[in-house]
Amino acid sequence: MQCEGTLLNVSLKDSEFISFQQMIFRIAGISLSSAKKSLVASRLAKRLKHHGLDSYAVYFEMLSEQHDELQMAVDLLTTNETYFFREPKHFEFLRDRVLPQHQPRRPFRIWSAACSSGEEVYTLAMLLADRLGEEPWEVFGSDISTQVLDKARKGVYPMERTRDIPPALLRTYCLKGIGSQEGHLLIDPVLRKRVRLAQINLNETLPNVGEFDVIFLRNVMIYFQQETKRQVVSRLLTKLCSGGIFVIGHSESLNGLGQNLESLAPSIYRKP
């Protein structure tokens, strides 16, 4: 077993970084630039410490033998920060332009296709509950990381994350933690029951999840190469109903992907 002091001095060699680069691209389609080398080293260092390893190369070999550890590494390398009501123009468009046109003959379905720890999922759920009430609706969230999905299922978040939630929605759909949960908010259990979560790798054939009225794919394509973007978008569009809305992050683009989509607003598109 290595002592903690030794582990702090373990460095990630260029050849080792390339191995992790290739691994995460193969599994998740995520392209890590050389600028991410320090991020990879810092996120995986805790796993070296946990196993008492003295090199990243030995840890990489372990991943081929232990599926649970491989999932742990994928979780660590794909997790991204998010927050409630991020890029609010998208939610305003949904509230003001999309939901008023919905005919309640069938459930209104939204897919948050890279939902991380659930803030986007519950933002959408608050909006639908507020606007559609008891009408049938569903928010489906997916991510490649089992770790962030576990956080999303709990629905517990630090109180500072509430700053962008409109006060009326905060009062209606969030509970203030007490005791051991002091300083945190809890998404109302009734709202959580309207949300479904699943692990899905967008870089693989998608499971049978039905069709959706709206798909959010925000702030994940920035990590994809052009061909990976094209494949992921093509897969997701097969799950979007005719006339459905496709939303990407403001810093992202569908230019050059060859998709026949109508632009409705910045980073918001409609499928013919």
Q: Where a domain ends, among 25, 54, 78?
A: 78
Residues 49 and 183 in one domain: no
Per the prediction, the chain carries an average pLDDT of 91
Q: Where a domain ends, among 78, 110, 138?
A: 78
Q: Where a domain ends, among 78, 107, 134?
A: 78
Q: What is the tens place of the pLDDT at every residue in 176-219?
A: 888 888 889 999 999 999 999 999 999 999 999 999 999 999 98
Q: What is the CATH number of the domain that holds 54?
A: 1.10.155.10
Residues 95 and 161 in one domain: yes
**81 confidence band (pLDDT: 50, 70, 90):** confident
Q: Is 83 inside a domain boundary?
A: no
Q: Is 155 inside a domain boundary?
A: yes
Predicted local confidence at residue 39, as pLDDT: 87
Predicted local confidence at residue 3, as pLDDT: 39
Predicted local confidence at residue 180, as pLDDT: 81
Q: What is the share, in percent, of the chain residues with pLDDT greater than 90?
A: 69
Q: What is the tens place of the pLDDT at every residue in 225-268?
A: 899 999 999 999 999 999 999 999 998 989 888 778 999 999 99
Q: What is the tens place of the pLDDT at every residue in 146-179?
A: 989 999 999 999 988 888 999 999 999 999 888 8
Give the CA-trace dihedral at 131, 156, 49, 6, to 10 degrees.
Answer: 100
Q: Is 14 inside a domain boundary?
A: yes
Instruction: Give CA–CA dist 53/26, Å, rounded.
Output: 24
For residue 154, which of 116, 106, 189 has the smallest C-alpha distance? 189
Residues 61 and 98 in one domain: no
Residues 114 and 40 in one domain: no
Predicted local confidence at residue 240, as pLDDT: 97
Predicted local confidence at residue 29, as pLDDT: 83
Mean local confidence (pLDDT), 109-135: 95
Sequence letter at residue 117: S
Sequence letter at residue 113: A
Predicted local confidence at residue 182, as pLDDT: 87
Cβ count within 10 A of residue 153: 14
164 catalytic residue (yes or no): no
Residues 156 and 207 in one domain: yes
HSE, CB side, 13 Å, CA atoms: give it for residue 210: 13
**31 confidence band (pLDDT: 50, 70, 90):** confident
Q: Is 54 inside a domain boundary?
A: yes
The CA–CA distances, whole Å, from 270 to 53, 55, 254, 262 equal 50, 49, 12, 5
**5 confidence band (pLDDT: 50, 70, 90):** very low
CA dihedral sign, ordered 166, 170, 171, 172:
positive
Range of the domain at 187: 88-270
DSSP result, 135-199: S-EEEEEEES-HHHHHHHHHTEEEGGGGGGS-HHHHHHHEEE--GGGTTEEEE-HHHHTTEEEEE
The conformational region for residue 258 under phi > 0 = left, psi -120 to 50 = alpha, else beta, is left
**Cross-strand bridge partners of residue 14:** none
Predicted local confidence at residue 7, as pLDDT: 44
- Residue 1: pLDDT above 50? no
Reported in sequence order, the residue ranges of 25-146 that DSSP labels E, i.e. its strands, are: 108-112, 137-143
Q: What is the share, in percent, of the chain residues with pLDDT greater than 70?
A: 97
Residues 56 and 95 in one domain: no
- The total number of structural domains in the chain stands at 2
161 catalytic residue (yes or no): no
Predicted local confidence at residue 133, as pLDDT: 87
Annotated catalytic residue within 75, 109, 143, 218: 143
- Residue 2: pLDDT above 70? no
Residues 125 and 60 in one domain: no
